[in-house]
Structure 1
């Protein structure tokens, strides 16, 4: 009987030890689980903070369409300044005037930089583009050139005046000829809107050729040596001409034909685009334009 009691007591004692041990293990497991969950939560929060910081540091990317000279060159110069402000630009270079607006319309570009205000407005009216002018950057004074004619007094009767097929430039060119007393425009028409049909007086019977693509004007300058050829400054520079030295007639810096950053109307408040304009109007970029193009391209600040 005594041995039986001792055996029962020992069994109960062992059972109690096992139960206590199991409870301790469960507590430790629970503690480890809680610690693990806290670690995971801390890690998740850390990852979220890192992702947030990485997102804040990622540059905003803009794809800008531009003609090669001077627009693409100016944008290249502005790249490091824009990078400091968190903006990365990709420059798509065009040789034709038509495609940058088509690509802006279809979303290939975020903005373009190649056209002056009258051309932009004529394209909007003609093609229905819903574009806005984000800001003016520079003026490219239009020049009239000739291989053989070196003085206005040498212009003979019937001389051809060759200009691009961009009607938006016709009033600009005719105004230059009027300024030099070579013709007179109808008073009822604004100079910016004038066409060859608005020439009221043409004492030298100048012949107007208006069906040439702007990019081919330098070729006509080389080939039609006794003609007057109105060449856009960007194409003149590409052809090795120095507008301030080689142009027979050159537009002044007061020109209203300001080259602008154009964008879709839906992006008119896009901060990165306005920062782009601010950088292109900065003192560093304006100084670059003045020194690089020596008056052939004139920066604007408004």
Structure 2
């Protein structure tokens, strides 16, 4: 009996030792992973990043996704060195903010395009928009231009000559407004919550998705595909770091077939990969 008990105790000690060794190895492996911190909008950007997490782990990187609900702080944090990259904005917005704020940021890679949609609020069809109706649009330069171009394409307004996707436009650039519409300029993140207070609203793709709106199913109109080449969402990093091992690993993982399949299956055309 004593012999059997001794064997049992010995076996338990061996298992404990193996477990301790295994735990130590796991911790060591974790410590060997180099951290990549990426700022992102919750939907779809953070979701897409998380789809690349395992791929990056295999490459020796621990991807940490920091979510932001506005369009200002991700560039501030990246410029200040708190992030390695961010993924939430299209290139015209990035360039505009670098010009305005003096950020030293650059695009490391193109990722996807989110078609802008005009969504019904109090009014359900374009023909039913009343004289003097209200349409909400984003109030930041590049996104307001994009919204006004969509309204122009639907015949609701006309902008002055020379305004296109590469120019900035505001309500002051409207030269024809046959229905005397009120164009309500709001912060992009506020528009979905205001949808029932206006006749219609132009909503950024990421905020539409957060409120379970899909441009293909819920919008009364979507912007032309020609804008896709202009308003491509990018991976941004600090200038001079585009070719670093860390950023190259991030881009390679995000440009994988696994991530492309995730985007196609998850967003059903509301997010269009361009890689």
- Structure 2 distance, partners of 1:253, 1:200, is 25
User: Matched residues in 1 for 2:225 and 2:37: separation?
Assistant: 29
1:250 aligns with 2:222: yes
Matched pairs, number: 244
Aligned 8 A contact 1:118 1:257 in 2: yes
Deviation at residue 87 of structure 1 after TM alignment: 2.1
Cα distance in structure 1, aligned partners of 2:243 and 2:216: 37
Task: Tell me the equivalent position of 2:139.
Answer: 165
Q: Distance in 2 between matches of 1:172 and 1:72?
A: 23
**Gapped runs of 5+ residues in structure 2?**
1-27
Contact 2:90–2:231 under 8 Å retained in 1 = yes
Residue 248 of structure 2 corresponds to which residue in structure 1?
274
SS in 2 for 1:108: coil
Paired with 1:252 and 1:59, the residues of 2 have a C-alpha distance of 43
Q: Aligned-residue CA RMSD in angstroms? A: 1.8
Larger Rg: 1
Q: Higher helix proportion, which one? A: 1
| Structure 1 unaligned spans of 5+ | 1-53
Instruction: Supply the distance in 2 between the matched residues of 1:259 and 1:116 (Cα, whole angstroms).
Output: 4
- Return structure 1 stretches of 4+ with deviation > 4 angstroms: none
TM-score by length of 2: 0.84
SS at match of 1:95: coil
Distance in 1 separating the partners of 2:36 and 2:225? 30
Which stretch of structure 1 is more off in the superposition, 292-301 or 227-236? Answer: 227-236
CA contact (8 A) 2:111 2:273 kept: yes
State the Cα distance separating 1:252 from its structure 2 match: 4.2
1:200 aligns with 2:172: no
**Would you say the 8 A contact 1:253–1:298 is kept in 2?**
no
TM-score normalised by L of structure 1: 0.76
Q: Does 1:136 align with 2:113?
A: no
Q: Please, which of 219, 237, 251 is the counterpart of residue 193 of structure 2?
A: 219
Pick aligned residue for 2:184 from 181, 195, 209:
209
1:60 lines up with 2:30 in the alignment: no
User: C-alpha distance in 1, partners of 2:106/2:74?
Assistant: 14
User: Contact 1:146/1:227 (CA < 8 Å) preserved in 2?
Assistant: yes
Given the alignment, which residue of 73, 80, 94 partners 1:106? 80
Measured against aligned partners, the alpha-carbon deviations of 1:34-90 in whole angstroms (never above 9, x if no partner) come to: xxxxxxxxxxxxxxxxxxxx99x9333210000100011011110011112222211
Q: In 2, Cα distance between the equivalents of 1:114 and 1:191?
A: 19
User: 2: CA distance between counterparts of 1:275 and 1:239?
Assistant: 32
Distance (Å, rounded) in 2 between the aligned partners of 1:191 and 1:97: 19
Q: Give the match's secondary structure for 1:288.
A: helix
Are the equivalent residues in 1 in contact too, given 2:135–2:183 (CA < 8 A)? Answer: yes
Contact 1:161/1:206 (CA < 8 Å) preserved in 2? yes
